[in-house]
A and B are shown apart, each in its own frame.
Chain A
Amino acid sequence: MKRSRFLLASAAAGGALVIGPARSRAAAAFEPTPWVRLEPGGGATITVHVSELGQGVNTGLAMLLADELDLDWRRVRVVTAGADGKRYGNQGIGGSRTMRTSAKKFRTAGAATRSVLVAAAARRWGVEPASCTTRDGTVRHAASGRSVAYAELLTDAAQLPLPQSPALKARSELRIVGKPRPLLEARDKSSGRAVYAMDVRRPGMLVAVVERAPHAGATIAAVHDDAARTIPGVHGIVRLDTNPYPDQFVWPGVAVLARDTWSALAGRRALRVNWADGPDANADSDAVRARLIALLDAPAALTSKSSKGDVRAALADKTIEATYESPIQCHAQLEPSNALADVRVDRCEIWAPTQSPDDVLGAARAVTGFPANAIQVHQTLAGGGFGRRSEIDPVVEALQLSKRMGRPVRVMYTREDDMTHDFYRMASMNRLRGTLAADGSVTSVAHRYAGPTIGLQRGYSKAGELDDEALEGLDRPLYEYPAYLLEAVQTADFPVRIGWWRAVSVVPNAFAAESFIDELAHAAGRDPLAFRLALLAQGSRARGVLTAVAERARWSDSTAAGGVARGISLTSYGATPVAQIVEARIEGGAIRVPRVTCAIDCGMIVNPSSVIAQVQGGIAWALGAALKHKITLAHGRAQQTNFATYPMLRLHEMPQVDVVLVDSDADPSAVGEASVPGLAPALGNALFALTGRRLRSTPFIV
């Protein structure tokens, strides 16, 4: 939406029907836009339209608005909006896009609000607005020494029209943005007071655990629930045979409802369900792998528009070919999937950790038949998201169960449920062929992707057309190869549900591309940094981060001394380039990573503390993925069920991460996922430098 229209629409919405927790209104509060309300008592409430998953979006967006409005940061409170697309626009979270899509909206809302407050004060004093300044919730007029708190201007300001396109502060005028701030929730999260969906209680609530289909396509053949019904505390057993919300793959299941969690779990242990096999009943990891290899060799590849030149005509003094493989992986966000629904006769409420509130609303409409204004969606704090909360399977189950029981119902996934009924990061293979001229320069790179895609599996991408989403990280190559061919053989056919996962396809794709360029550099007898720089445009942001990381980590001094070797990578996620240098050694047969240096250019840095935290977190995520994480399938089902068989990176394995924030005037771009893709290739490159052996599949085994 254009800024002017946004402001008009917001002003109009100020008087609209109020739904959701964010908007109980006090008598003389001033709420010029959906994003901010100034309280007569002097505080400010900023409404954030998306969920806080730990990515720091509440704090970051509030900082932007508070800075433009010159609020007293200590008096800023943030609430999360309910689902209301009309009022807030798109509320989904994915692709680390919130800052990119919302920074301007929040700044504009702050600046417009400031401007009417200044106008109200100026009018009161009979002075020019331009002669007034603002700071910490107060308008001042220096010439006359007068000042007035915003809180005293609310009624006057409400009479004035909001400007259509207020001027935003220059970077140098920003006082809150750009300075590190702890997350607003830090105290609550350190003292057990933060409320997650799993913590919400409603009077009369039942807890449900669901025995779900063991593999895709399995259906309920028989339910033996006599024993389960005798467990004290169990209130009911409900079959969920059909999925009322086809936009989401929800498998059949049998729910055990009880007055508390332990009784529900005991009830489910006593339950026996016989399943009728679906077509994937015998799918296993070997078959998945064989199928990916077959795809890789299939003649019918589609060619990406990003291809250029003729790779077949390229000079080829040397030809290098390599195939890289990435496994299925799960999310394992620490708060397992869950949702609480309270369906009444004419209205309903849902509490869920969600990245897709619009979908939650859609499912509620489908299950209850209620109009949107009879449905309240509470986006609670989430114990991690990483893409798993884009799926609303627990919501669909909770809605049906609450409707059936006439009571509030929480559906709780155990860790085992969560790990065996995930929407996994897909497995894929990438085969690369590169050619070098006699002088060691690259003459061509051909890249072939083979694997399933989310869009094909869900039917939003068309068979026979290239699904670009799965080629992210490849279709805008960072390097200026003289000839580049990108082809893909993609399929809808995969035995488990696949979904978005921190940086999704960019992780396997960048693993292949950035390992391969290292292979080319070694084949050419060149330094891997110099080899990359020769292929990067002068002045590009990608070149900027690569140079920065090399300087910080003193790449030029690098020798594989003391049993430690280093590897480098350059990746990009969205508009954010990231370069990493990873140190590795081998100790008692295990890979150790003592240090990672990471340079990131995410445009305007709103909260440096958050950016550093996200970069470190992404590296921890990626290191676990590179060293440990692989879901294997037997009988169509994940064989790993909990942290004992799918181990997580732990404190003593965490490298020291040195983050270099590269200054940039660009608009804010992706952070949360940006540091994930580059870790595995940089580590693999380090291990090659260390051992001379090239690892082409993750997790790495030495």
Chain B
Amino acid sequence: MARYRLNVNGGAREVRADPATPLLWVLRDGLELTGTKYGCGIAQCGACTVLVDGAPKRSCVLPVAAVREAKVTTIEGVGADAVGRRVQDAWVAGDVPQCGYCQSGMVVATTALLKREPAPSRQAVDDALRGHICRCGTYERIRTAVALAAEKRA
């Protein structure tokens, strides 16, 4: 057991955890930020994606000890950013979610993509989201919503 001071969604959060504990479980069990989802635990589905210093990371395989000073942004914090908000709006307008369980990860990853590449090519979208599984098969609407969010940029 060790004590960690994490920077999550712009605030400092204290947690006690075994150093090997994946950030996912620290967020969900320790900080009660349950928007980040567990789907596979082996970096295969993307449901647990969070931003670590702006880059999408699979929190299910990221030990809490490795996070250190990095800025962690979860789905709960992503809407505080204009790009993140636009992505969420596009997700609603495009009626993307079915069960919704994969969508936290999709929205977080799309936000990271659009911040890096405001007008991504089809290939760039594929590359950014190919690590994400949607078992409900919302892929077509995801593609449309990404385009909508990109178009709406100020």
Chain A residues engaging chain B, CB cutoff 8 angstroms: 53-56, 180-183, 185-196, 198-199, 201, 207, 232, 260-263, 266, 332-336, 381-386, 414-415, 609-610, 613-614, 616-621, 642-644, 648-652, 654, 656-657
**A232 and B95 in contact (CB under 8 A), knowing A54-B136, A192-B35?**
no
Interface residue tally for chain B (C-beta within 8 Å)? 61
Closest Cβ of chain B: how far from A631's Cβ, in Å? 16
Beta-carbon contact of B99 and A643 below 8 Å: no
Asked if A191 and B79 sit within 8 Å, CB to CB, the answer is: yes
Write 14 A-B pairs (CB below 8 A) sorted by A numbering. Answer: A56-B98, A190-B91, A190-B92, A191-B76, A194-B100, A262-B18, A262-B21, A335-B37, A383-B101, A414-B41, A620-B134, A644-B44, A649-B139, A651-B130
B40 within 8 A of A: yes
CB-defined contacts of A333 to chain B, threshold 8 Å: 99, 135
Distance from A236 Cβ to chain B, minimum over Cβ atoms (Å): 18
Query: In chain B, what residue has the closest Cβ to A333?
Result: B135
Q: Do A620 and B137 contact each other (CB < 8 Å), given the known contacts A54-B98, A186-B97, A651-B129?
A: yes
Instruction: Given A334-B47, A651-B143, verify A190-B137 contact (CB < 8 Å).
Output: no
Q: Is the CB of A183 within 8 A of B97?
A: yes
Alpha-carbon separation in the docked complex, A644 to B43 (Å): 9
Closest to A190 in B: B91
Query: A334 with B76: in contact, given A182-B95, A382-B99, A654-B139 (CB under 8 Å)?
Result: no
8 other A-B residue contacts (CB within 8 Å) besides A186-B95, A192-B76 = A54-B97, A183-B98, A190-B96, A196-B101, A232-B18, A261-B29, A383-B37, A650-B132
B142 and A642 contacting across the interface, CB-CB below 8 Å: no
Closest CB in chain A relative to B8 CB, distance in Å:
13
B residues near A (Cβ < 8 Å) are: 1, 17-18, 21-22, 25, 28-30, 32-42, 44-45, 47, 74-76, 78-79, 87-88, 91-104, 107, 125-126, 129-130, 132-143
Partner of B137, one of A261, A415, A654: A654
Q: Which of B47, B78, B99 has the most CB of A within 10 A?
A: B99
Please give, as numbers and ranges, the residues of chain A lying within 8 Å of B135 by CB-CB distance: 332-334, 384, 386, 621, 648
From A189, A232, A386, B97 is in contact (CB under 8 Å) with A189
Q: For the complex, what is the distance from the CA of A672 to the CA of B79, rounded to whole Å?
A: 31
Q: Are B99 and A195 in contact (CB under 8 A)?
A: no
Q: Is the CB–CB distance between A651 and B125 below 8 Å?
A: yes
Task: Given A232-B18, A642-B40, decide whether A189 and B140 contact each other with a Cβ distance below 8 A.
Answer: no
- The residue of chain A having its C-beta at the shortest distance from the C-beta of B21 within the complex is A262
Residues of A within 8 A of B95 (CB): 180-183, 186, 609-610, 613
CB closest residue in chain B, given A647: B44
- CB of A672 to closest CB in B, whole Å: 10
A425 to B101, CA, bound (A): 22
Q: Which of B34, B45, B88 has the most CB of A within 10 A?
A: B34
Q: Which residue of A lies closest to B76 (CB)?
A: A192
Q: Cβ of B25: which chain A residues have Cβ within 8 Å of it? A: 260-262
Beta-carbon contact of A191 and B35 below 8 Å: yes
4 A-B pairs with least C-beta separation: A192-B35, A620-B137, A54-B99, A189-B100
Which residues of the partner chain A approach B37 to less than 8 Å between Cβ atoms? Answer: 196, 198, 334-335, 383
CB neighbours of A650 from chain B (8 A): 129-130, 132-133, 139
Which of B30, B74, B129 is within 8 Å of A192, CB to CB?
A: B74
Partner of B126, one of A263, A620, A652: A652
Given known A-B contacts A186-B92, A190-B107, A384-B136, A415 and B130 have beta carbons under 8 A apart: no
Closest to B47 in A: A334
Counting chain A CB atoms within 10 Å of each CB, the highest count among B28, B38, B74 belongs to B38
Complex contacts, A609 vs chain B, CB 8 Å: 95
| A182–B88 CB distance below 8 A | no
Selected from B36, B42, B45, B130, the residue in CB contact (under 8 A) with A334 is B45
The one of A186, A195, A649 that contacts B91, using a Cβ cutoff of 8 Å: A186
Query: Of all chain A residues, which has the CB nearest B32?
Result: A201
A528 to B132, CA, bound (A): 37
Residues from chain A with Cβ under 8 Å of B40 in the complex: 415, 642-643
Q: Say how far B58's CB is from chain A's closest CB, in angstroms.
A: 12
Q: Nearest B residue to A231 by beta-carbon distance?
A: B18
B99 contacts across to A, CB distance below 8 A: 53-54, 333-335, 381-385
Which chain A positions have C-beta within 8 A of B29?
207, 260-262
**In the assembly, what is the distance between CA of A654 and CA of B136, in Å?**
12
- Tell me the smallest distance from the CB of B43 to a CB of chain A, in Å: 9
Cross-chain contact B97 with A192 (CB below 8 angstroms): no
Instruction: Across the interface, name the chain A residue whose C-beta is closest to B36.
Output: A192
Q: Is the CB of B98 within 8 A of A55?
A: yes
Q: How far is the CB of A207 from chain B (nearest CB, A)?
A: 8
Question: Are the CB atoms of A334 and B39 closer together than 8 Å?
Answer: yes
The answer to whether A620 and B139 touch across the interface, beta carbons within 8 angstroms, is: yes
Q: A161 to B139, alpha carbons, bound, how many Å?
A: 49
Q: Closest residue to B84 on the A side, CB-wise?
A: A191
Nearest B residue (CB) for A412: B38
Complex interface: chain B residues within 8 A of A621 (CB): 135, 137
**Given A642-B44, A651-B142, are A619 and B137 neighbors across the interface (CB < 8 Å)?**
yes
User: Inside 8 A of B100's CB, which chain A residues have their CB?
Assistant: 54, 185, 188-190, 194, 381, 383
A262 to B45, CA, bound (A): 19
Most buried by B among A193, A381, A651, A656: A651
Option from B17, B74, B97, B130 in Cβ contact (under 8 Å) with A190: B97
Q: How long is the Cα–Cα vector from A650 to B94 in the complex, in angstroms?
A: 19
B139 to nearest A CB, angstroms? 4
Q: Given the complex of chains A and B, what is the CA–CA distance between A195 and B29 in angstroms?
A: 14
**Chain B nearest CB: distance from A41 CB in Å?**
25
A617/B137 in contact, CB under 8 A: yes
